[in-house]
């Protein structure tokens, strides 16, 4: 059994006393939760899940309800997300899977770390088009025609290194949006963003930027 399956089964056992989980085959596990339909989840150790990866998992596990990127560093390409959503397969982290077990909505679950922020952008009337390049990178077309590439930064208090690392991994962005509601970017992070050519901001500042373009 792979390390990620061991961790996933232990995670479910430790955090969800009402749930039971068992290995099916390969990287697939079946999870039962009282009064909810059983969930078949595939546990991936990939650092990046792209369209080809998502297609391969769906082909190998046609019964899959949820694809779990178990590594904390796992990122999802937009094409993979679109493919899974189209095929009614939920996607995201172990935490996303845990939440979905309790609601019975594994097939429609989306990465919980980014779901709320993504909805905020989708509901903004000044954004006429949203292209999801990665789970945390959005290319926005504004009502005035301007395009803005936005990166969603999870850290409580993003550091300069967090901004530079994001830039190196996902490419140049116009805005580094600190989506953690409880923290604020450090002065060093803001400075690092300026040196790279992007603005580091919270939601109020981003909303103002959208309104002025």
Amino acid 134: pLDDT: 98
Tens digit of each residue's pLDDT (9 = 90 or more) over 50-90: 999 999 999 999 999 999 999 999 999 999 999 999 999 99
Mean pLDDT within 107-133: 97
Q: How confident is the model at residue 118 (pLDDT cuts 50, 70, 90)?
A: very high
3-state secondary structure the chain: CCHHHHHHHHHHHHHCCCCEEEEEECCEEEEECCCCCCEEEEEECCCEECHHHHHHHHHHCCCCCEEEECCCCCEEEHHHHHHHHHCCCEEECHHHHHHHHHHCCHHHCCCHHHHHHHHHHHHCCCEEEEEEEECCEEEEEECCCCEEEEEEECCCCCCHHHHHHHHHHHCCCCEEEECCCCCCCCHHHHHHHHHHCCEEECHHHHHHHHHCC
Tens digit of each residue's pLDDT (9 = 90 or more) over 156-186: 999 999 999 999 999 999 999 999 999 999 9
Give me the CATH code for the 3-110 domain, please: 3.40.1340
Show me where the domains of the chain are located: 3-110, 114-211
Amino acid 17: pLDDT: 87
Q: How confident is the model at residue 213 (pLDDT cuts 50, 70, 90)?
A: low
**Residue 123 pLDDT > 80, yes or no?**
yes
Tens digit of each residue's pLDDT (9 = 90 or more) over 182-199: 999 999 999 999 999 999
Mean pLDDT within 39-52: 98
């Amino acid at each position: 059994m792979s390390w990620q399956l061991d961790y996933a089964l232990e995670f479910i056992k430790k955090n969800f006393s009402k749930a039971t989980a068992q290995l099916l085959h390969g990287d697939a596990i079946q999870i039962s939760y009282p009064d909810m339909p059983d969930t078949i989840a595939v546990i991936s150790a990939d650092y990046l899940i792209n369209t080809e990866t998502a297609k391969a998992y769906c082909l190998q596990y046609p019964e899959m309800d949820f694809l779990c990127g178990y590594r904390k560093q796992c990122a999802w390409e937009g094409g993979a997300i679109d493919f899974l959503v189209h095929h009614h397969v939920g996607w995201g982290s172990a935490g996303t899977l845990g939440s979905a077990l309790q609601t019975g909505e594994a097939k429609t679950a989306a990465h919980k770390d980014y779901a709320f922020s993504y909805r905020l952008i989708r509901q903004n009337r000044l954004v006429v088009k949203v292209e999801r390049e990665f789970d945390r990178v959005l290319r926005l077309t504004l009502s005035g025609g301007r395009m803005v590439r936005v990166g969603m930064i999870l850290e409580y208090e993003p550091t300069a290194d967090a901004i530079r690392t994001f830039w190196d991994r996902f490419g140049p962005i116009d805005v580094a949006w600190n989506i953690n509601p409880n923290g604020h970017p450090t002065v060093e992070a803001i400075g690092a963003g300026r040196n790279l050519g992007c603005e580091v901001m919270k939601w109020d500042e981003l909303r103002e930027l959208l309104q002025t373009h």
